[in-house]
């Protein structure tokens, strides 16, 4: 018999609480995390000092209304150095601020994180698109590392390279810090070759193409731009970091091309922005599709494609990812009266219908080792 909400004891989680299998709810091809109580901790920066505790939150964390922060301070959901304070409390530098919150993680596609190879100190998996590699931002349990721990009992895990959240394919994880360090040393020494496949707009040139164009990432906008030396800016230092990518056409059907991408450097969004620079952006990359490209040839955008892909999820004999069962549809979770996201499973602005980029990691090769992942279905042109 279920206890009423007011009789339930709140259990606060910290990063030390590992994800568990029952933390996930599957609905309509989407993997949700059951909302949970979590303590967010930060320390007062010098520029925050002198503000009231409520003004600090309303100025710096604009995702919730002012009235919420007033209520959170009064109820003890926001504390300073482990103590309740009045709403007029003035914060001082370096003080510990705790925000006890009913946490709703963004949803991801309900696709399996499949284990490709398991060695003594190395694990390789095929990362699904839309799932971040490790905890970041609002994601903690809905990550590759979290899912592997919850569903396979694999921990600790040390990712030795990163894939953007919307990118799929080969991901290499070490099971010891020493092995992870060895991999990173090889990568930093330029001893590791990386290969991706991409589906791009147009007929890509037959001959191998090498792009040398600096990549300048703008964290505020979440996108990169390319820079190259020219007569006009020859005397002005380029802001971006040096970047080089080699491209080879695999196939083309006259509308799209499948490209093998070999990044020599590893800049943020390097492959995506170098393909845009060449005039052949990834066909569903709405962030980098050129404005001059005929919209009728852009293919299906990342968000629009989700509706179709959700109905064709890969089957797995050990898990039902269809998520439409009666049992799943009635999964219960605590509704928090102060939560600004309840009663929804996802935070505001996340509907879970997000398709991945047509960019997929297929191979990493280093000194005396190679790890591979099979090509995705979209890499086979009609």
Residue numbers annotated as active site: 164
DSSP-derived 3-state class of residue 89: coil
Give the tokens for residue 377. 């279905």
The CA-based angle 133-135-139, given to 5 degrees, is 100
Is 241 strand, coil or helix? strand
Query: What tokens were used for 306?
Result: 């989700």
CA distances from 11 to 8, 37, 38, 98, 137 (A): 9, 7, 8, 15, 22
Three-state SS at 225? strand
Tokens representing 59? 């100025």
Q: How many other CB atoms are found less than 10 A from the CB of residue 175?
A: 17
Q: Which of 220, 221, 216, 200 is nearest to 276 (CA)?
A: 200
148 CB contacts (<8 Å, ≥6 apart)? 113, 115, 123, 125, 154, 155, 157, 173
Which of 154, 63, 55 has its CA nearest to residue 104?
63
Report the 3 state secondary structure along 326-380.
Answer: HHHHCCCCCCCCCCCCCCCCCCCCCCCCCCCCCEEEEEEEECCEEEECCCCHHHC
Give me 358's structure tokens.
Answer: 């047509």
What letter does residue 94 receive in the DSSP assignment?
T
Residue labelled with tokens 């505001």? 348
Q: Are strands 244-252 and 36-43 parallel, antiparallel or unpaired?
A: unpaired
């Amino acid at each position: 018999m279920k206890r009423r909400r007011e009789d339930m004891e709140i259990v606060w989680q910290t990063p030390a609480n590992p994800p568990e299998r029952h933390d996930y709810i599957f609905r309509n091809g989407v993997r949700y995390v059951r909302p949970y109580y979590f303590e967010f901790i930060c320390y007062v920066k010098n520029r925050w000092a002198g503000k009231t505790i409520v003004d600090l939150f309303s100025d710096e964390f604009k995702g919730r209304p002012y009235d919420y922060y007033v209520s959170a301070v009064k109820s003890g959901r926001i504390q300073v150095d482990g103590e309740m304070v009045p709403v007029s409390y003035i914060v001082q530098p370096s003080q510990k601020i705790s925000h006890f919150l009913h946490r709703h993680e963004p949803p991801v596609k309900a696709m399996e994180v499949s284990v490709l190879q398991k060695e003594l100190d190395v694990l390789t998996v095929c990362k699904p698109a839309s799932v971040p590699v490790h905890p970041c931002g609002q994601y903690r349990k809905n990550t590759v590392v979290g899912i592997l721990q919850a569903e396979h009992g694999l921990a600790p895990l040390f990712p030795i390279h990163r894939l953007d959240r919307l990118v799929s394919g080969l991901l290499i994880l070490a099971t010891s810090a020493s092995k992870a360090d060895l991999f990173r040393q090889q990568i930093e020494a330029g001893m590791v070759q990386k290969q991706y496949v991409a589906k791009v707009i147009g007929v890509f040139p037959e001959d191998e193409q090498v792009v040398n164009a600096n990549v300048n990432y703008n964290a505020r906008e979440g996108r990169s731009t390319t820079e190259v030396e020219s007569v006009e800016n020859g005397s002005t230092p380029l802001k971006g970091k040096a970047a080089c990518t080699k491209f080879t056409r695999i196939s083309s059907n006259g509308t799209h091309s499948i490209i093998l991408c070999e990044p020599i450097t590893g800049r943020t969004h390097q492959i995506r922005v170098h393909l845009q620079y060449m005039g052949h952006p990834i066909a569903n990359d709405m962030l980098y599709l050129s404005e001059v490209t005929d919209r009728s040839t852009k293919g299906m955008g990342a968000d629009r494609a989700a509706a179709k892909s959700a109905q064709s999820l890969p089957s797995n004999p050990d898990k039902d990812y269809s998520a439409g069962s009666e049992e799943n549809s009635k999964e219960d979770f605590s509704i928090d009266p102060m939560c600004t996201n309840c009663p929804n499973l996802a935070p505001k602005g996340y509907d879970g219908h997000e398709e991945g980029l047509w960019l997929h990691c297929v191979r990493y090769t280093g000194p005396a080792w190679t790890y591979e992942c099979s090509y995705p279905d979209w890499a086979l042109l009609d």
